[in-house]
Structure 1
Amino acid sequence: MFRFLCSRQLLPLKHRRTHLGFLQQNGFFIVKSFTSVGRLPESNQNPEEEEKHSFAVSYLINSCGLPAKSAILASQRVLFQSPERPDSVLNLFKENGFSNDQISHIVRKHPPVLLSDPEKTLLPKIELLRSIGVSSSELITILSSNPFLFKSNLKKRLIPCYDFLKSVLLVDEKVLKTFKRSPRSFLCDETNTMAPNIALLRQLGAPPSTISFLVTNYPPAAFTKHAKFVEVVHQVMEMGFDPTKTVFVLAIQVLLKMSKPKLESKLEFYKRWGWSKDMALAAFKRFPNCMQSSEEKITKTMDFLVNKIGWPSANIATYPSVINLSLEKRIIPRCSVVQILLAKVLVKNNLALGTFLRPTERIFLEQFVIRFQDDVPELLNVYQDKMSSGCRISV
């Protein structure tokens, strides 16, 4: 709990101006001069306004825990000369589990929150989030990191956004998933962005499942300005993607982040590893995210698979999702196991990359390690030694 020595009675103005800094010692905030921190901004304020400014700075320091510099900046956005309303706001936060540091962060990012009506303005927003399933700990974390939610109008922005998301996603669980991925989804202009974007997808034949996948997994893509969204959707359609498939959504979210020149540059880069443009485009259609990998990541992965392991480059184009896999935690350990099995002729020499790189950890261990333990007892040790994380695996 914040504790402070200064009285809530205002000090004479001439004294308060030299007592705005503080340091925390033995649990108390000690008032001190902050000539090295800065001065109150010069202004033509009348004495009453100056008193409000000084009181606000002192309160922000002593009751909200803001550093002097931050308090001075915050006081330019909020002025008050009585502690009643700010105290009620701080009490609401504390009653709902916010720590002093979290409260300080909220006030620093959004000082006007101190003048909000706790019961009529703040609490209803908290209750709305709880109603869709946001847990207490999640609520505290989300609101502390995104205090701009407190300044959004409940009836004109938050509730309409929630209602629209619910109409598209049908269940609160998916609305909650969307909100967690992008809290700003509750601030979107659903009338001019999300609604026409979703209407376009429906017009093209995208099923509810595909639309739901876009909104819940890539909210910023769904909330893109409509003109840009239309442009990218048409580009994806021209490339031959099927709107009924999930990969259609993946292509949209990738191209929303990439300019056409950037995409062309990445296609050219894959040529260095033996892919023709048609092969690269085919790989993009199988797994659009392969175009988001950095050139450094592509180089390291292809160098290992092609030059060190000897896998044909064309085979990798058939399973482009392996480009995005961790080289240290998946590709190298699993390839090391498979190389031993190939050398001992325990697996076919035409084994496809996807059969051992894409499966889950449990399935890989069952099919390529446990299955051959009697024939190659050292397989598990080889696999564990190659794992960069150093985690030991029980089988």
Structure 2
Amino acid sequence: MFGFLCSRQLLPLKHRRTHLGFLQQNGFFIVKSFTSVGSLSESNQKPEEEGKHSFAVFYLINSCGLSTKSAILASQRVLFQSPERPDSVLNFFKENGFSNAQISRIVRMLPLILLSHPEKTLLPKIELLRSIGVSSSDLITILSLNPFLFRSSIKKRLIPCYDFLKSVLLVDEKVLTTFKRSPRAFLCDVPKTVAPNISLLRQLGAPPSTISFLVTNYPSAAFTKHAKFVEVVHQVMEMGFDPTKTVFVLAIQVLLKMSKPKLESRLELYKRWGWPKDMALAAFKSFPNCMLSSEEKITKTMDFLVNKIGWPSANIARNPSVITLSLENKIIPRCSVVQILLAKGLVKNNLAVGTFLRPSERIFLEKFVIRFQDDVPELLNVYQGKMSSGCRISV
């Protein structure tokens, strides 16, 4: 898509009701005009403004790789009549390792970037991110996915955010982890969002380790608008969560993602599977993420474990993390193995689901497959045969 025509050969198209298309004949691209471009033709623009739009559209297609539709939309947000400044921006990105596809994405999301002064406005951001340890490959990926970082003020946004995170997390490695997980966090107004959120947690007695866990693992939660954060924290406190425990943070991030009606609907769904509200709330306090699973996922998992396998619903409530596990890749294969062991009397009948569903792959194989291979040689084949991915495991 890039370089169809030299950008310095591009000329403004002065005709009204003009759109851009391309027809390839004998190895050459020919510019073709056709009507029905409402955004350009129906507006009450002066002829010279239409010329600017037409030139921008042509440039965005040929030099930036945008589709015709994207170029038309982008041209409404950026106007230029010559290629010099946009060329300097594109060259800057190429010199810094950005691919054509990444440059197209940046321009499509932020057309005004084509009017930037690369050395004055773009390079300082890249140098700042490099200074805190962002690798070249990570930096390119992050900025191509979040080009709005280029518009952030270094003095008013990026540096204050970095300084605050460093004061909370203490080491650059954790600051970098936070940034990678949520680059948009660096766009926030620190005094109005994350600072008062962290202050609230400290007032409630949350230790530095718990606060660090929130910021590094769930930065989008830590950077939530303060009013919403306060509301959710109070809700979590009313449910009886202990601010000194990590699960307190997990509950915050879950409730920030769920509305109260949605939470109530999850509690009602679990009630239909035999969990009274107090049991469902106890499961939530044990493993908050069990409420984030979709109704379909919960229903399929409970139906399999309760109706097909026969495990008591209360047993699952005591191990709510199993609700979030993959039914096809973990629950069904492991239950198939355990059913064979139960039938042969090799494991106890009162085996809790968490005992064999929660352990890592290595531990499960050691405890429930390799250990019984002499008694049941087909166990590994049964286990692998039930895995939807069809992968094979070396033991």
Q: Which TM class, normalised by the smaller chain length? A: over 0.9
TM-score (norm. length: structure 1): 0.92
Checking the alignment, whether the CA contact within 8 Å between 2:19 and 2:37 is kept in structure 1 is: no
For residue 294 of structure 1, report the CA deviation from its aligned partner: 1.6
Checking the alignment, whether the CA contact within 8 Å between 1:4 and 1:62 is kept in structure 2 is: yes
Which shows bigger deviation, 39-48 or 296-305? 39-48
For residue 243 of structure 1, report the CA deviation from its aligned partner: 0.8
The 1:204–1:25 alpha-carbon spacing in structure 2 relative to 1, beyond 3 Å, is farther
In structure 2, distance between residues paired with 1:103 and 1:165: 30
Are 2:89 and 1:89 equivalent residues in the alignment?
yes
The 1:243–1:38 alpha-carbon spacing in structure 2 relative to 1, beyond 3 Å, is same
| 1:102 alignment partner in structure 2 | 102
Which shows bigger deviation, 332-341 or 252-261? 252-261
The 1:380–1:111 alpha-carbon spacing in structure 2 relative to 1, beyond 3 Å, is same
Q: Secondary structure at the match of 1:40?
A: helix
Give the 5 Å matches for 1:105-254.
105-254=105-254
Q: Secondary structure at the match of 1:178?
A: helix
In structure 2, distance between residues paired with 1:288 and 1:119: 47
Checking the alignment, whether the CA contact within 8 Å between 1:263 and 1:291 is kept in structure 2 is: yes
In structure 1, distance between residues paired with 2:23 and 2:249: 53
In structure 2, distance between residues paired with 1:177 and 1:389: 30
| 1:289 alignment partner in structure 2 | 289
| 1:365 alignment partner in structure 2 | 365
In structure 1, distance between residues paired with 2:153 and 2:202: 30
| 1:57 alignment partner in structure 2 | 57
For residue 103 of structure 1, report the CA deviation from its aligned partner: 1.1
TM-score (norm. length: structure 2): 0.92
| 1:324 alignment partner in structure 2 | 324
Which shows bigger deviation, 120-129 or 19-28? 19-28
The 1:78–1:261 alpha-carbon spacing in structure 2 relative to 1, beyond 3 Å, is closer
In structure 1, distance between residues paired with 2:215 and 2:26: 50
Which shows bigger deviation, 18-27 or 358-367? 18-27
Q: Secondary structure at the match of 1:134?
A: coil
The aligned amino acid for 1:59 is Y
In structure 1, distance between residues paired with 2:79 and 2:193: 36
Checking the alignment, whether the CA contact within 8 Å between 2:17 and 2:41 is kept in structure 1 is: no
The aligned amino acid for 2:327 is L
For residue 37 of structure 1, report the CA deviation from its aligned partner: 5.2
In structure 1, distance between residues paired with 2:92 and 2:223: 32
Checking the alignment, whether the CA contact within 8 Å between 2:306 and 2:313 is kept in structure 1 is: yes
In structure 1, distance between residues paired with 2:331 and 2:89: 52
For residue 101 of structure 1, report the CA deviation from its aligned partner: 2.0
Which shows bigger deviation, 60-69 or 282-291? 60-69
Which shows bigger deviation, 113-122 or 292-301? 292-301
The aligned amino acid for 1:372 is F
Are 2:79 and 1:79 equivalent residues in the alignment?
yes
Checking the alignment, whether the CA contact within 8 Å between 2:4 and 2:62 is kept in structure 1 is: yes
The aligned amino acid for 1:108 is R
The 1:134–1:96 alpha-carbon spacing in structure 2 relative to 1, beyond 3 Å, is same
Q: Secondary structure at the match of 2:8?
A: coil
The 1:221–1:23 alpha-carbon spacing in structure 2 relative to 1, beyond 3 Å, is farther
The 1:282–1:25 alpha-carbon spacing in structure 2 relative to 1, beyond 3 Å, is farther
Checking the alignment, whether the CA contact within 8 Å between 1:3 and 1:29 is kept in structure 2 is: no
Checking the alignment, whether the CA contact within 8 Å between 1:64 and 1:103 is kept in structure 2 is: yes
The 1:309–1:44 alpha-carbon spacing in structure 2 relative to 1, beyond 3 Å, is closer
Unaligned runs of 5+ in 1: none
For residue 380 of structure 1, report the CA deviation from its aligned partner: 0.5
In structure 1, distance between residues paired with 2:55 and 2:289: 54
Q: Secondary structure at the match of 2:40?
A: coil
For residue 62 of structure 1, report the CA deviation from its aligned partner: 2.1
The CA RMSD measured in Å over matched residues stands at: 2.4
Q: Secondary structure at the match of 1:394?
A: coil
Aligned pairs, number: 395
Checking the alignment, whether the CA contact within 8 Å between 2:7 and 2:59 is kept in structure 1 is: no
| 1:259 alignment partner in structure 2 | 259
The 1:57–1:271 alpha-carbon spacing in structure 2 relative to 1, beyond 3 Å, is closer
In structure 2, distance between residues paired with 1:241 and 1:106: 43
For residue 333 of structure 1, report the CA deviation from its aligned partner: 0.8
The aligned amino acid for 1:97 is G
The 1:95–1:363 alpha-carbon spacing in structure 2 relative to 1, beyond 3 Å, is same
For residue 7 of structure 1, report the CA deviation from its aligned partner: 6.8
- Per-residue Cα deviation, 1:45-82 (whole angstroms, up to 9, x for no partner): 55654544333233222221223333232222222223
Unaligned runs of 5+ in 2: none
The 1:230–1:36 alpha-carbon spacing in structure 2 relative to 1, beyond 3 Å, is closer
In structure 1, distance between residues paired with 2:304 and 2:188: 44
In structure 2, distance between residues paired with 1:27 and 1:90: 26
The aligned amino acid for 2:386 is K
- Per-residue Cα deviation, 1:176-225 (whole angstroms, up to 9, x for no partner): 22222222111112111110110111111111111111111111211111
- Per-residue Cα deviation, 1:104-160 (whole angstroms, up to 9, x for no partner): 221121111011110111011122222233222222222222222222222211221
Checking the alignment, whether the CA contact within 8 Å between 1:178 and 1:215 is kept in structure 2 is: yes
| 1:277 alignment partner in structure 2 | 277
The 1:53–1:312 alpha-carbon spacing in structure 2 relative to 1, beyond 3 Å, is closer
The 1:230–1:73 alpha-carbon spacing in structure 2 relative to 1, beyond 3 Å, is same
Checking the alignment, whether the CA contact within 8 Å between 1:21 and 1:67 is kept in structure 2 is: no
The aligned amino acid for 1:85 is R
Q: Secondary structure at the match of 2:31?
A: strand
Identity level (%): 89
Q: Secondary structure at the match of 1:31?
A: strand
